[in-house]
Amino acid sequence: MAFVFPSDEWVKEFGNQINASKAYEESGKDWEGDWIFIVEADDAYPNTVYFFIGLYHGKVTDAAMIESDTAREAQYFMRGSFTTWRKTIEGKMDPIQGLMTRKFKLKGNLTKVLRYPRSAKELVNCVKRVPTEFPS
Amino acid sequence: MWNFVSPRIVFGEGALDVLDELQGQRALIITDRTMLQIGLVDKVKEHFRKAGIEAHVFDEVEPDPSVQTVQKGAEVARHVKPDWIVGLGGGSPIDAAKAIWVLYERPDIEPAAIAPVEELGLRKKARLITIPTTSGTGAEVTWAIVLTNTGEKRKMGLGHPENIADIAIVDPEMAAGMPPRLTADTGLDALVHAVEGYTCSWHTDLTDGLCLQAARLVFKYLPRAARDGQDMEARERMHNAATCAGLGFGNAMASMAHAMGHSLGGTFHVPHGRAVSLFLPYTIEFFAPQAPERFAELAVFVGFPNASDEKAARAFANQIRDLCRKVGNPTSVAEAGIKRKAYESQLDKLVDDALNDTQMVTSVRTPSVEEMRQLFLYSYDGRPVDF
């Protein structure tokens, strides 16, 4: 079964994939900090969508589509267009390279994020494991 | 979408003369005491004198420069108010110069937060010149900065494309005085840059050729340069190899040998080139079962053809070990002089630091915690990796 991106079902499955990942459990064992991912409207998708991902000590505490970037408290915000997110999910763009070329923008304690490159890489692996279909 | 960044590179015998034509008021030379003692600082100052630029010197950079050192250097810069900052030396002074430049221009930034995700807005107060006096780090043409957090004994991979030098002066005469040990350590560092730049997951068409040529030059000229420091052809080709490799990996990335080398170096102060070259063959053997193709291509290009990809990758790992032996370098952690008891007592930290090193993001096979532990243990004993 494929999950439509962006949707609440999709982000919940993303959370399931993270919780099933031994590699993320190991690499994120000390991580404390919740994220909001912002999927910005562009030519390929008309609405801006917000995802909350709670992460604590290698596990997802909650994953949900939310109303806005202020609907839940979070420490980290990652913003990119629908097309940029799609390329990442399809494995066509490394999100770290996306950050370096400003396709993604990050708000939060950067020094802390830089301490967890392996966690970041494993989150990308998890996102690619979600069976995803995109609106035509 | 990706970027290829490079300074203007002035290279070859007499390249230092480019300093004579500079415009400006004051320069701050970031270096170490050895450069002062062997007269290379005076040589550079003489060129600034010809250009009519007042040259000041900060010579307190230590091997594996610390956050505190670059903060101190930035204070000196704020006092001197240079319009040129010059990194003179091996990788440590050049990396320190990059960080000092960033902190001079952006005193609001913490050193540990120098990362390529937001605009820095450099070049409002000064520009950067890099002058390598070793042939290996490639720091003269990369934007990478490695600083050591002395409290945690951990190396931090930092940097921003904006902190690339404006001018890199690659003059082989500046490296002519290197002793054989330093020649070998730094030359092998260039090889690791070439190999990891060619094989990491961020390699591109624009970096591949640079990495291939650099690897070929190192295999051909490093034994000569290490054996006879007066062999100026070998010196010059190694100086060029280091810069080619720097451009190659600097616009792709390094990988797991660097992550493990940073971890070992941060804990036991093994010189950088020695540490990363020691680990490189073990990482190739770890990658070989899943991603051997590019190692096999490299092996063919530098003249070691073999039957199948995985076999070629493993043979290439052994060719690198042979080169290390030829120039008198260790091929295991034990040979590097680290006691087993001390090593094993730090094993958890070594594993954790390596796995969380920024260079791991481009690794073509990601090890688990247990696999990384085994990699460190195999590397200690000199056992070829078989898992």
**Which residues from B are below 8 Å from A122, CB to CB?**
366
Q: Find the length of chain A.
A: 136
Nearest CA in chain B to A121: B361
Residue A118 confidence (pLDDT): 87
Q: 3-class SS at B123?
A: coil
Residue A109 confidence (pLDDT): 85
Query: Does the beta-carbon distance from B117 to A99 stay under 8 Å?
Result: yes
**Which residues from B are below 8 Å from A118, CB to CB?**
355-356, 360, 366
b/e B27-36 (16+ beta carbons within 10 angstroms → b): bbbbbbebbe
b/e B221-251 (16+ beta carbons within 10 angstroms → b): bbbbbbeebeeeebbbbbbbbbbbbbbbbbb
Burial class (CB in 10 A: 0-12, 13-18, 19+), A135: exposed
Task: Compute the distance between CA of residue B304 and CA of residue B109 in angstroms, rounded to an integer.
Answer: 47
Q: Which residues of B touch A (CB under 8 A)?
A: 1-3, 110, 112-113, 115-117, 156, 158, 161, 201-202, 355-358, 360-361, 366, 368-369
Burial class (CB in 10 A: 0-12, 13-18, 19+), B120: middle
**Which residues from A are below 8 Å from B110, CB to CB?**
111
Q: What single letter denotes the amino acid at residue B383?
A: R
Query: Does the beta-carbon distance from A27 to B356 stay under 8 Å?
Result: yes
Task: Compute the distance between CA of residue B218 and CA of residue B234 in angstroms, rounded to an integer.
Answer: 9
Answering whether pTM is above 0.90, one says: yes
Query: Does the beta-carbon distance from A106 to B117 stay under 8 Å?
Result: yes
Task: Compute the distance between CA of residue A117 and CA of residue B314 in angstroms, rounded to an integer.
Answer: 28
Which of A94, A111, A116 minimises the CB distance to B356? A116
Complex ipTM: 0.86
Q: Which of A22, A21, A3 is nearest to A13 (CA)?
A: A3
Residue B158 confidence (pLDDT): 93
Query: Does the beta-carbon distance from A110 to B117 stay under 8 Å?
Result: yes
Under 8 Å between Cβ of B133 and B35: yes
**Reported confidence tier of residue A4, pLDDT bands at 50, 70, 90:** very high
Compute the nearest-CA separation of A81 from chain B (Å). 15
**Which residues from A are below 8 Å from B162, CB to CB?**
none
**Which residues from B are below 8 Å from A100, CB to CB?**
3, 116-117, 161
- Tens-binned pLDDT, residue by residue, of chain B (387 aa): 899 999 999 999 999 999 999 999 999 999 999 999 999 999 999 999 999 999 999 999 999 999 999 999 999 999 999 999 999 999 999 999 999 999 999 999 999 989 988 889 999 999 999 999 999 999 999 999 999 989 888 888 899 999 999 999 999 999 998 999 999 999 999 999 999 999 999 999 999 999 999 999 999 999 999 999 999 999 999 999 999 999 999 999 999 999 999 999 999 999 999 999 999 999 999 999 999 999 999 999 998 877 788 999 999 999 999 999 999 999 999 999 999 999 999 999 999 999 999 899 899 999 999 999 999 999 999 999 999
Query: Does the beta-carbon distance from A111 to B358 stay under 8 Å?
Result: no
Residue A111 confidence (pLDDT): 77
Residue B308 confidence (pLDDT): 81
Query: Does the beta-carbon distance from A100 to B116 stay under 8 Å?
Result: yes
Interface A-B: count of C-beta contacts within 8 A:
54
Which of B356, B368, B369 minimises the CB distance to A115? B356
Query: Does the beta-carbon distance from A114 to B355 stay under 8 Å?
Result: no
Q: 3-class SS at A55?
A: strand
* CB neighbour list of residue B123: distance below 8 Å, 6 or more residues apart: B105, B162, B166
Under 8 Å between Cβ of B191 and B215: yes
Q: Tell which of B361, B365, B373 to mutate to test the A interface (max A CBs under 10 Å).
A: B361
Q: Tell which of B106, B110, B117, B156 to mutate to test the A interface (max A CBs under 10 Å).
A: B117
Task: Compute the distance between CA of residue B65 and CA of residue B58 in angstroms, rounded to an integer.
Answer: 13
Residue B338 confidence (pLDDT): 98
Residue B152 confidence (pLDDT): 86
Residue B386 confidence (pLDDT): 95
Interval A39-66: pLDDT, tens: 999 999 999 999 999 999 999 999 999 9
Q: What single letter denotes the amino acid at residue A98?
A: G
Q: What single letter denotes the amino acid at residue B8?
A: R
Residue B275 confidence (pLDDT): 97
**Which residues from B are below 8 Å from A83, CB to CB?**
none
**Which residues from A are below 8 Å from B368, CB to CB?**
22-23, 26
Query: Does the beta-carbon distance from B112 to A23 stay under 8 Å?
Result: no
